């Protein structure tokens, strides 16, 4: 009995300790976000760095996002077609693919890929800069590291995530077309009609609002993990893993709440 109470006590202590740690980390991320927003609006603007990061986060992620989107669209059409055929609704495949790509799969899958690709790179790069004192060196050279390093990554995330998401939407729908029309020999006119008839502009722009939010979240979380790295090479490894895990979790959790808010 006493042992049970002891265990319960330990559990409660560790639960609250973890709770405090989570709250502390969230607070620090928000502080970094506010510092970033402040530096974002103060001139001079770091255009060269912003373009460099847009290339890194956006353009270089295009191939992997395309491959993911086309196969997601294809498998979605494949599964929906087989399922819907059971009750004779196979003409609706185009609608289902278009709605799921624009509202959910486009932004979320792109977010997960960008967090694994660009987010990990941000954490590793900033983490290495921290442990090799390059961030301190920036400060001694009278350069604000938040302005120089984090603002460009944040802006790149905000702009490039929706852009990648639009590409994913289109390619996903084309992937669905290949399967529905190419494999299952449904009429191409039916597929496109079903796609356009039921797709509303709100589906697209609400999806893009989500993508924009995910982009900002990935950048700020990954930058935070990298910027506050300590403990040498091991620390950089931990920061990189932490960045991918935390930004993926943030995307999946916030996706639910954003969707219930935006689409209702």
Partner 1 sequence: MIRLDEVYKAFNSNHVLTGTSFVVKKGESRVVIGGSGSGKSVILKHIVGILKPDRGRVLIDDLDIAGLKEHDLYEIRKKFGMLFQMAALFDSMSVWENVGFAISRKGTLKPAEIKEISIEKLKLVGLVNVENLMPSELSGGMKKRVGLARAIAHEPEILLYDEPTTGLDPITADAINDLIVDLRERLKVTSVAITHDMHSSYKIADSISMLYQGKIIATGTPDEIRNTANPIVRQFITGSAVGPIKVEGVNNERTVNRA
- Contact set with partner 1 (CB under 8 A): 44, 129, 132-134, 136-137, 139-144
What's the chain's Rg over C-alpha atoms?
Answer: 22
Whole-angstrom Cα distance, residue 120 to residue 113?
A: 10
CB of 102 to partner 1, least distance (A): 37
For partner 1, the closer CB: 4 or 141: 141
For partner 1, the closer CB: 191 or 227: 227
**Rounded (10°) angle between helices 151-177 and 188-198:** 140
For partner 1, the closer CB: 24 or 139: 139
Cβ within 8 Å of residue 132, ≥6 positions away: none
Q: Which two tokens stand for residue 46?
A: 């770091």
CB of 32 to partner 1, least distance (A): 14
CB of 17 to partner 1, least distance (A): 16
CB of 29 to partner 1, least distance (A): 20
CB of 131 to partner 1, least distance (A): 10
Q: Which two tokens stand for residue 230?
A: 């300590």
**Largest pairwise CA distance in the chain:** 73
For partner 1, the closer CB: 91 or 134: 134
* Alpha helices (H) in 178-200, listed in sequence order: 188-198
Neighbours of 211 (CB within 10 A): 28
187: left (phi over 0), alpha (psi -120 to 50) or beta: beta
For partner 1, the closer CB: 125 or 203: 125
Per the omega criterion (within 30 degrees of 0), is the bond before 2 cis? no
For partner 1, the closer CB: 106 or 145: 145
Whole-angstrom Cα distance, residue 163 to residue 222?
A: 20
CB of 11 to partner 1, least distance (A): 26
CB of 125 to partner 1, least distance (A): 8
Neighbours of 20 (CB within 10 A): 10
For partner 1, the closer CB: 1 or 41: 41
Within 13 Å and on the Cβ side, how many CA atoms surround 230?
1
**Rounded (10°) angle between helices 62-85 and 151-177:** 40
């Amino acid at each position: 009995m006493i042992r049970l109470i002891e265990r319960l006590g330990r559990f409660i202590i560790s639960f609250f300790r973890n709770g405090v740690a989570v709250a502390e980390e969230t607070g620090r991320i928000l502080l970094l976000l506010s510092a970033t927003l402040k530096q974002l609006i103060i001139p001079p603007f770091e255009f060269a760095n912003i373009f460099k990061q847009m290339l890194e986060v956006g353009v270089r992620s295009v191939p992997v996002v395309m491959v993911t989107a086309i196969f997601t669209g294809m498998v979605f059409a494949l599964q929906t077609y087989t399922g819907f055929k059971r009750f004779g609704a196979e003409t609706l495949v185009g609608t289902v693919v278009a709605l799921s790509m624009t509202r959910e799969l486009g932004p979320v899958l792109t977010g997960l890929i960008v967090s694994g690709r660009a987010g990990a790179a941000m954490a590793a790069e900033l983490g290495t800069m921290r442990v090799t004192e390059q961030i301190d060196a920036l400060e001694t050279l009278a350069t604000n590291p938040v302005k120089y390093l984090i603002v460009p990554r944040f802006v790149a995330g905000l702009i490039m995530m929706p852009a990648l998401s639009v590409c994913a939407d289109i390619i996903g729908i084309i992937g669905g077309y290949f399967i529905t029309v190419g494999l299952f020999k449904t009429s191409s006119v039916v597929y496109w009609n079903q796609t356009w008839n039921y797709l509303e502009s709100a589906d697209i722009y609400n999806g893009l609002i989500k993508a924009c939010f995910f982009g900002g979240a990935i950048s700020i979380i990954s930058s935070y993990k990298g910027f506050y790295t300590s403990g040498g090479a091991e620390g950089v490894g931990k920061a990189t893993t932490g960045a991918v895990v935390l930004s993926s979790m943030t995307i999946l959790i916030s996706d639910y709440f954003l969707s219930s808010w935006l689409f209702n």
